[in-house]
Structure 1
Amino acid sequence: MRAVTAESFSFAEAVGGVRGVVEAIAPGLLFVVVFVATTDLRAALVASVAAALVAVAARLLQRTPVTQALGGLLGIAVGVFWAWRSGEAENFYAVGLWTNAVYLVVILASILARWPAVGLVVEAFRSGFVDQARERAQNAGAAAPEGDAADGAPSPFAPLVAWRKDPALVRRYTLATWFWVGLFALRLIVKVPLYFAGDVAWLGTAHLVMGVPLWGLVLWLTWAVVRRPHPASTAAATA
């Protein structure tokens, strides 16, 4: 989500680069290809888990951050467990459907409450709240220097609410949040009927097409709406 606060948008950086795309797509791609080719659920599940494990192992060997790969492995593991226990290949995607449904409800509720989720996320990054929270968590065990907690000090949560005083900014964040409502709603509209029909081939295809590519598109649309005007264009408009 940091990509939407950058001066320029990079699709590659937004989705984690080529490596991030491969790590996100490979497990699901192998699952659907192996299952369609062999109709063997066990082989498809093993292939999917193997791809996720290879991604984590490669990052560990190269001593690069493993957060994204571990997140993918966790998601795959839950899907594999569900499919294995039920014996139904379509349940490999059931967790993703529930996840999209939860995101849809939460994000839609943020709009109805007039606290659009995109506004909270973007302002948290722009104000440095995320970085400050990380630093506070890292220093939680250290004794605070005298005078640091003086009365009257500004609240660290102030930047998260200040933007709501600007009606134009609230409208922009609301519009951007609607893009995310559309993303999760579209996924459910397309994939839920395929899930209940047990059409694993098309369900897997929809999962891939509406995964990284659609995610990147919505990130770009969000960036285009919430980006700050360039100083030169702002000065020209004022003149």
Structure 2
Amino acid sequence: MSAREQPATPPARRGLQAVTGETFSFADAVGGVRGVVETVLPGTLFVVVYVASRDLGWSLAAAAVSGLVAVAVRLAQRTPVTQALGGLAGIAVGVIWAWRSGEAGNFFAIGLWTNAAYLVLVLASILARWPAVGLVVEALRAGLTAERAREQSAEGANPFAGMTAWRADRALVRRYTVATWLWVGMFALRLAVQVPLYLDDSVGWLGTARLVLGVPLWGLVLWLTWAVVRGAHPHALAPEQPAEAR
């Protein structure tokens, strides 16, 4: 096969998209090296500067500047800025909260509240027998986008059928319930470790715990979710044989 005939490299699957693939790449799932750096650098700089100087202003400035630089570099290189902008928004909330309160620990408060909200949502989805991982993964499998939903509605089809059909299969429901419990465990573990540190105002240890229980734990849970979910649709994973081979 010539270079022109070689198939294009498929786009990297990030976040929950990674659990729908036939293979799993930890690097791609967590956003690659660049994505990891953009995620962990602001919090790391905040902790390092604060522990070294005990100056809240300089610590917040270091975190904010790192987020702004990440967005500026992506804009200059004309690469997608969604991940960097999302991180910048979280940094902005943390900076404002910590600055107004004068408490360094409040830089991480938004993360605690976010994890608590996700914990409640995923637990509620399990209790309602609509496990959240099933909803998200089946939506991704069905390719549910705003454009596709409009097209299906115009054709008279239910654009949400792919998100709900799986609930008729009890085995699938059980599989997605197990996967959703993994996410319950992740959010609960983060809160169990970080909330006491936040209440004790142990900023250095809180920042360290956030780093350890951030990208590494997220990547691990994505991989475990993939291991549970990948067998849910075996017919989608097996390549179709040519007619002469049947």
Same-fold call, TM cutoff 0.5 = yes
2:208 and 2:159 map into 1 onto residues whose CA distance is: 44
Identify the match of residue 204 of structure 1 among 201, 204, 207. Answer: 207
Which residue identity does 1:78 align to in structure 2? V
Residue 12 (structure 1) aligned with residue 37 (structure 2): no
Aligned to 2:224: 221
Aligned to 2:137: 122
What SS class does the counterpart of residue 60 from structure 1 fall into? helix
What SS class does the counterpart of residue 154 from structure 1 fall into? coil
Aligned pairs (5 A) from 1:68-217: 68-130=83-145, 133-135=146-148, 149=154, 153-217=156-220
Over aligned residue pairs, what C-alpha RMSD do you find?
1.7
Which residue identity does 1:72 align to in structure 2? G
Aligned pairs (5 A) from 1:15-54: 15-54=30-69
Which residue identity does 2:238 align to in structure 1? P
Shift of 1:231: 3.0
Give the structure-2-normalised TM-score: 0.86
1:174 and 1:226 map into 2 onto residues whose CA distance is: 10
Shift of 1:136: 5.3
Which residue identity does 1:170 align to in structure 2? V
Which residue identity does 1:168 align to in structure 2? A
- Number of equivalenced pairs: 220
2:143 and 2:78 map into 1 onto residues whose CA distance is: 27
Which residue identity does 2:198 align to in structure 1? Y
Residue 59 (structure 1) aligned with residue 62 (structure 2): no
1:101 and 1:75 map into 2 onto residues whose CA distance is: 15
How far does the alpha carbon of each residue in 1:11-70 deviate from its partner, in whole angstroms, 9 at most, with x for none? 111111000000000000000000001100101000000110110000000000000000
How far does the alpha carbon of each residue in 1:163-215 deviate from its partner, in whole angstroms, 9 at most, with x for none? 00111111000000000000000000000000000000100000100000000
Which residue identity does 1:226 align to in structure 2? V
Shift of 1:135: 4.9
Which residue identity does 2:52 align to in structure 1? A
1:12 and 1:149 map into 2 onto residues whose CA distance is: 39
2:95 and 2:27 map into 1 onto residues whose CA distance is: 28
Show structure 1 runs of 5+ residues with no match.
140-147, 233-239
2:133 and 2:193 map into 1 onto residues whose CA distance is: 24
If asked which structure has higher relative contact order (CA below 8 Å, sep 6+), I would say 1
How far does the alpha carbon of each residue in 1:99-151 deviate from its partner, in whole angstroms, 9 at most, with x for none? 00000000100000000000000000101113xx24557x9xxxxxxxx846x
1:41 and 1:65 map into 2 onto residues whose CA distance is: 31
1:196 and 1:134 map into 2 onto residues whose CA distance is: 46
Identity %: 70
